[in-house]
Structure 1
Amino acid sequence: MFFLRKACRLLFKALEWFAMICMVVLTVIVFTDVVLRYIFKQGFSWTQEIATLMLVWFSLIGMGIGVLEKIHISIEMFTAKLSSRAISVLETFNHILIAAFGGAMVYYGLLIMNMTKLSTMPATKMPSSVLYVILPLSGLLVFLNALLVAVKQDQKIFKTSGGSAGEEETHA
């Protein structure tokens, strides 16, 4: 069980880093393109496609991470008067619905990838399915993370061993 927990933590951190790298690449590409277009009156033709790719990948990976960290939007006004047991049941049901949404993302993401595998993006000539490959992957991440949070509702998912400043705890 320790190995599985450590592997999940490593995967989670790798996904966080990948999402951060996508955001940095997006920022650098857009900034460079703006400078080239408005100061030098020319730019690259591929920047919009790569920026779109990075934005979609960053957003969908961030959604999967947000499910595990329970940082998705919620309105607490309606649950403020409920008992802690009722809130726990409601949150478990909520995460089961989120898991179902993740399953739908996997299914429809695979359909979209299949439909777009023969078309290419105009500037980069990459297959259009590259843009959509993140749909089933993030759907799987959302599905697994939502089920994990639903099962371990009141427990920490990743326990830190040393409590060092570099390690963050993820609560469920």
Structure 2
Amino acid sequence: MSALRKGFRFLFQALEWFAMICMVILTIIVFIDVILRYIFKQGFPWTQEVATLMLVWFSFIGMAIGVLEKIHISIEMFTSKLPEKAIAVLESVDHVLMAVFGGLMIYYGAVIMNMTKLSTMPATKLPSAVLYIILPLSGILVLLNAVLVAARQNTRIFPENAPEKEDSENA
């Protein structure tokens, strides 16, 4: 079981790094393009497509990571006043809905990729499916993360500061 946990930990750390790299590339490309356009009155024709690609990939990977870490925006004003059993039921429904959403992303992402596989992006000449491949991939991650979070409800999957929490509870 610990090998599986280490494997998941490695996978999601790699995803976090990939998301960070996408954001860095996005920032650098947009910065260079702004400088070139405003100072030199000329830019590269491919920057908008690559920046869009990096933004989409970053967003969908970030969404999958947010499901795992339970860091999405939520309204607790109403649920905090409910009994614990009602909160548990709502969290279970939440996990099921996230898993269904992940499944829909897988299905419709594959449909969109199939529809765009023959077209290319105008500036980079990459297949348009490159932009949409992240939909089924992040759908798989959202589905997997929803199941992982549901299995370990009320506990973090990868506790970062576990020894510190124990020390603070004992104090």
With normalisation by structure 2, the TM-score equals 0.92
- Identify the residue that residue 98 of structure 2 maps to in structure 1: 98
Q: Counterparts of 1:162 and 1:153 in 2: how far apart (Å)?
A: 16
Offset at 1:81? 1.1
Segment of structure 1 superposing worse, 147-156 or 38-47? 147-156
Report the structure, 1 or 2, having the larger helix content. 2
Identity %: 72
CA distance in 1, matches of 2:64, 2:41: 39
Q: Which residue matches 1:116?
A: 116
Distance 1:137 1:45 in 2: 28
The total of aligned residue pairs comes to 164
Matches of 1:134 and 1:25, distance apart in 2 = 17
2:125 — aligned with what? 125
Quote how far apart the aligned CAs of 1:85 are: 2.3
- How far apart are the structure 1 equivalents of 2:7 and 2:75? 33
Where structure 1 has 5 or more consecutive residues not aligned to the other structure, the ranges are: 165-172
Distance across 2 between alignment mates of 1:27 and 1:127: 23
- Paired residue secondary structure (1:62): helix
Q: Which moved more, 1:155-164 or 1:78-87?
A: 155-164
TM-score (norm 1): 0.91
One-letter amino acid of the counterpart of residue 3, structure 2: F
Q: How does 1:1-172 map to 2 (within 5 A)?
A: 1-159=1-159, 163=163
Instruction: String of CA shifts for 1:91-133, please: whole Å, max 9, x gaps.
Output: 1111110110010000000000000000000000000000000
Q: Residue 131 of structure 2: SS of its match in structure 1?
A: helix
Structure 2 unmatched ranges of 5 or more: 165-171
